[in-house]
Chains A and B, each alone.
Chain A
Amino acid sequence: EVHLRQSGGGLVQPGGSLRVSCSASGLIFSNYAMHWVRQAPGKGLEYVSGISSGGGSTYFADSVKGRFTISRDNAKNTLFLQLTSLTIADSAVYYCVQGGTSTNLFLDSWGQGTRVTVSS
């Protein structure tokens, strides 16, 4: 069974930065694309970013392009999302999601979510 354990959320001021992490187990991590999806309070799901299995290709929603960075350490089975220049609109629960063997396949297993709150 795939298990995605997330960490790193919290409260940050507007303009600040934060890094969220996702540690994976129960799968050969380096075989799978990984993604981040967020959900603002009371809202629906929003795709944020994806990264190919080897880390060579990354994808970002327009709303975060140039501010967020996705990366992975396949040796440590860990996915990261670096959030910078944060605004109130970035406040959300961020989910780590296991994809398929390429980034264009379905979003399979989801982490428990980590809350990011941007507030002064």
Chain B
Amino acid sequence: SYVLTQPPSVSVAPGQTAIMTCGGDGIGSKSVHWCQQKPGQAPVLVIYYDTDRPSGIPERFSGSNSGNTATLTISRVEAGDEADYYCHVWDSATDLHVFGGGTKLTVL
């Protein structure tokens, strides 16, 4: 089955830029989506189809996808951005959605 690899943790100071990666074999040919999960809450979609933002998601959130790596970038990080971030794709080989292991973003 398709495997997505995310670093377990990323730390950044307030006001700086957080970059979180999602690695997968040829992921650039797939549509990658990202969700944010704050402690004790349900996940919330923050990026879909590599680069699109749902309504209500700040422009500080952006995504890209190429080659073997997709990236979620959060500019001007705020304390409220501290959360776990998961990438996910649909695997056509199994007809199942696949999640990465998640990255915990810590705002220093």
Chain B's interface size range is: 20 to 34
Asked if B53 is at the interface (CB within 8 A of a chain A CB), the reply is: no
A-side contacts of B49, CB under 8 Å: 106
A104 and B95 contact, CB distance less than 8 A: yes
User: Which residues 58-108 in B have Cβ within 8 Å of A in the complex?
Assistant: 84, 86, 88, 90, 92, 95-102
- Among B42, B90, B96, B102, point to the contact of A61 (Cβ < 8 A): B96
Q: How many A-B residue pairs have CB under 8 A?
A: 59
Q: Mark A78-117, 1 if CB is under 8 A from B, else 0.
A: 0000000000000000010000000111111111110000
Q: Are A95 and B95 in contact (CB under 8 A)?
A: no
A44-B102 Cα distance, complex, nearest whole Å? 6
Question: Taking beta carbons and an 8 Å cutoff, which residues of A are in contact with B?
Answer: 35, 37, 44-47, 50, 59, 61, 95, 103-113
Can you pick out 22 interface pairs between chain A and chain B where the beta carbons lie within 8 Å of each other?
A37-B99, A45-B35, A45-B86, A45-B102, A47-B96, A47-B97, A47-B98, A50-B96, A59-B96, A95-B43, A103-B95, A104-B90, A106-B45, A106-B49, A107-B35, A107-B45, A107-B97, A108-B48, A110-B43, A110-B44, A110-B45, A111-B42
Chain B residues at the A interface, C-beta cutoff of 8 Å:
31, 33, 35, 37, 42-45, 48-49, 54, 84, 86, 88, 90, 92, 95-102
What 7 new A-B contacts, CB under 8 Å, besides A37-B99, A45-B99, A106-B31? A44-B102, A45-B86, A103-B90, A103-B95, A104-B95, A108-B45, A109-B45
